[in-house]
Structures are given as structure tokens and as C-alpha cells.
Structure 1
Amino acid sequence: MADSKTILIAEDSSVILNLTKKILELQNYKILTAKNGGEVMKQVGSNKIDVILMDLNIPVKSGMECTREIRKSENKQIANIPIIAVTGNANNYSMEDFKEAGINAYLPKPLDFDMLVQTVKQYTAE
């Protein structure tokens, strides 16, 4: 593996954030974190990110709002970052909502870590 891929984890639960971070670090990913939508937008603006794991229920700006904002970016590299939605209450959203917002994939909570690794690999493969 050449240089490691950078994953942004947007998650307001420290427990889930730390577990997810550890699992992905074991796969040699570089991890950035954001505890709210404002931090997500800051990270996206100042780092090259390969995949975003986006909790939909983060404070300041929801994951859906952040996704829409990222998709509208003038910078094509930012606008095209794969976004994997992570949520415990997906019942509030349909696959259409996800598609409309520009979400590439969806993982339900509680997270299945094998599925997480597999999905991230799928979106970071060259």
C-alpha cells in the first residue's frame, strides 16, 4: 500500500468514535475526527480526505446537511469524496433521501466492524 488513505470520522459519541478509529487504524488508515458538522466542514476544507464516515445525528450541522454542502463544493476533489452514512435511526430516512443528499453507502448502528472495514476498503480502492 503506497501512502495510507485518510478517513474522516464524523461522530459525536466518543465511544463509537474511538472504537471506529482503532479498527481503521489497524487497517493502516490515517484518521481525522469531527464531533460536529462545523468540524466536518473545517476538516474537509483543510485536508485531503479519501472517505467520510458521517454520523447523521451530529450537532451543529447534521450529517445530511454536511453531505449536501460537500456535494455543492466548487472543488471537485471535495465534492466527490465518498460519504458513508452511519446512523442508528435510518428509519427517518429512505434510500432516496440518502441518494438525493449524495450519500454513497450506509452502515446501520450498532456498527458491524467487518462491514465497516469492507465498505471503507471498497471506497478507498484505487
Structure 2
Amino acid sequence: MTSPRNDAFTLFDLRVEVVATDRPMVCNHREGDSFTLRGENLAFPPGQTFPLYPLAALLPLLPAKQRPTHPNDWMTTDAEVACPDPHCGARFRITRIGSTTFRHGDVTLVPLPADPDRHG
């Protein structure tokens, strides 16, 4: 009898925090505003809002920051992202704050391939 294949994988938990610069912030965020990302879930502190347009600019980067990357990859070394409004001085610091392990079968209905060496 074969043992079931391990379908676990780990993603980094992230914290995104608004960082002030020497330029004024013009969007609806304040220094220290933040949110966390664990798996696919964003969590905001009670009563805090976050503007849509900076969030939209950050969203494509977050799944890449959740995954292990090569030490020389810019996704590993660069932690701050500028606000997409060219007139706003805010930056957003993305920090890996921990990790969470998930199981393939808990996050998708697509089965793993029968051959573990086959990708696709």
C-alpha cells in the first residue's frame, strides 16, 4: 500500500504598511496604516480603511512576495513600493512576517497529477 502524497505547501504571511517620505501624502492613507495577508485573505485593523487605487497597484505583487524566491531576486530584496499616484509621497513596505502551511486539496478542486514529476 502506498502512502498518500504530501500535498502541503507554504506561503509567507505578509504585512503591508504605509511609510511616509519627505514628500506629502495626497491619497487617503496615513503613515502606519497597514493590512496583513495570510493565504488569500486580507485583514485590516478594526475601523481602518485603505484606498482602492494603491491597493489595486499592490495586489499583483503580493502573491509573488508570498512565495519563496531566490536570494538575488528583486522580489526578495526590495521591500518598498511607491504609491501609484505620482503626486503622492507614500511608500508601502511589504514585510514577510511568518508563514502558513496549506494543503492542495483545501484550496482547489483540481487534483494533483498522478505522476509527481509531471507538471502541467
Q: TM-score range by the shorter chain?
A: under 0.3
TM-score by length of 1: 0.25
**Which structure carries more helix by proportion?**
1
TM-score by length of 2: 0.26
**Which structure carries more strand by proportion?**
2
Q: Which has the larger radius of gyration?
A: 2
Which has the bigger relative contact order, CA under 8 A and spacing at least 6? Answer: 2
